[in-house]
Amino acid sequence: MNPRRISKPIQIGDVIVGSGNPIAVQSMAKTDTRDVVSTIAQIRELEACGCEIIRVAVPDAEAAQALLAIKRAINIPLIADIHFDYRLALTAISADVDGLRLNPGNISEPEKIKVLAKAAKEKNIPIRIGVNAGSLPKDSNPEFTVAQQMVETALKQIHLLESFDFDLIKISLKAFDVPTTISAYQDIARKTPYPLHIGITEAGTPRTGIIRSTVGISTLLYLGIGDTIRVSLTAHPREEVIAAYEILKSLNLRSRDPILVSCPSCGRAEVDIIKLAKQTEEQLIKINKPIRVAVMGCVVNGPGEAKDADIGIACGKGKAVLFKKGKKIALIEEKDYLAALMREIKRF
């Protein structure tokens, strides 16, 4: 795995993004921002499942005016997502949001950026330059690839902000096409010191979108690129947060939950391993410690993997061996598999 790219840190509320800090997990509320009650409820639900930064859409003045009430009622940093109308960003700044996201595809006029840079700087509010392949500026160079156009668009806005002495900058360059997205991030990573918010845009429904997002995000992370991640799914944002942590866990970049190792089952298994793994997974949701649990169905890799886990079970015919830190601790009957496993996990 490549060492993590060193980036210039920024502070979003109490979360530091960049420069070796933990890769922050963020999501976006899908409620109507003007519906303050529903928006706060959804954000609190996301906080409970580990979301560390939340963004809300600010499509009009009423939504911008709702930001203050939302900000006061939540515990994680709030980012206002602004398109087209720079005055909405000014309202958001006066509501003390923790960050802004501007799309240079629809707000890029120097005089507007100048006003925003000044107002944001006074309050130390960082700005994400959020480039999206679906909304590139009309004057993008058509001879460039989409990746190059995205990078070009970001660089222009970066230079503009820098010319107004503003450097609390974060950058994202999202496309639906994964190789395009990866190549754009690799390029911008070389060209600027700013932290990067990574993700794949419009990735789709969970069935396909989780895989598409994971391919893009995990490859970038493997290459050492990315300071904060958002998994975009056409689904409840809770699914985005859960998926984000699974990606980070798979690369050993963050761990806060139990890890379940379970074999895929095959013609060798003499127990319904799919059912046992599912039941174990459901029980593990309530366990808040980074414990490694193995549920294995046969004698090939079973004992090996089960021994490597903190708590493991290797099932044979009607009986299973329970392992704790590599040591056999019990031989158990089939009817007791789940109960015995969970008892040891809770004790651990």
Q: How far apart are CA 231 and CA 340, in angstroms?
A: 36
**Closest CB to a copy of itself among 96 and 202?**
202
The two structure tokens encoding residue 5: 């790219």
* Cβ-based nearer residue to a copy of itself, 98 or 305: 305
Instruction: State which of positions 106-135 bind a copy of itself (CB under 8 A).
Output: 106, 132-135
Q: How far is the CB of 40 from a copy of itself (least distance, A)?
A: 13
The stretch near a copy of itself (CB under 8 A) out of 33-41, 150-158, 161-169, 319-327 is 33-41
Is 30 one of the binding residues for a copy of itself (CB under 8 A)? yes
Q: Which is nearer to a copy of itself, 192 or 214 (CB)?
A: 214
Strands 197-198 and 169-174, bridge-based pairing: unpaired
Of 229-288, which residues contact a copy of itself (CB under 8 A)?
Answer: 232-237, 240, 242-243, 246-247, 249-252, 260-269, 273-274, 277-278, 281
d(CA 316, CA 298): 6
Which residue from 5, 45, 54, 2 is spatially nearest to 26, judged by alpha carbons? 54
Q: Using CB under 8 A, which of 296, 313, 315, 342 touches a copy of itself?
A: 296
Angle value at C-alpha 126, between 102 and 137, nearest 5 degrees: 20
Q: How many residues make contact with a copy of itself (CB under 8 A)?
A: 86
Name the burial class of residue 282, with classes exposed (0-12), middle (13-18) and buried (19+) by CB atoms within 10 angstroms of its CB.
Answer: exposed
In the set 6, 208, 289, 329, which binds a copy of itself (CB under 8 A)?
208
Q: Is the dihedral of CA 244, 199, 5, 23 positive or negative?
A: negative
Which of 99, 126, 226, 302 lies at the binding interface for a copy of itself (CB under 8 A)? Answer: 302
Task: Tell me the closest approach of the beta carbon of residue 162 to a copy of itself, in angstroms.
Answer: 25
215 lies in the site for a copy of itself, by CB under 8 A? yes
Question: What are phi and psi for residue 100, nearest 5 degrees?
Answer: -120, 150
Minimum separation from the CB atom of position 17 to a copy of itself (A): 20
In the bound state with a copy of itself, the residue whose beta carbon lies nearer, of 168 and 242, is: 242
Give, as ranges, the residues between 76 and 105 that touch a copy of itself (CB under 8 A): 81, 83, 103
Say how far apart CA 36 and CA 19 lie, in whole Å: 34
- Nearer to a copy of itself among residue 141 and residue 250 (C-beta): 250
Backbone φ/ψ region at 19: left (φ over 0), alpha (ψ -120 to 50), beta = left
- Write the DSSP string, 143-182: TS-HHHHHHHHHHHHHHHHHHTT---EEEEEE-SSHHHHH
- Provide the mask over 165-204, with x wherever binding to a copy of itself is found by CB under 8 A and - wherever it is not: -----------xxxx--xx-----------------xxxx
CA separation for the pair 297, 301 (Å, rounded): 9
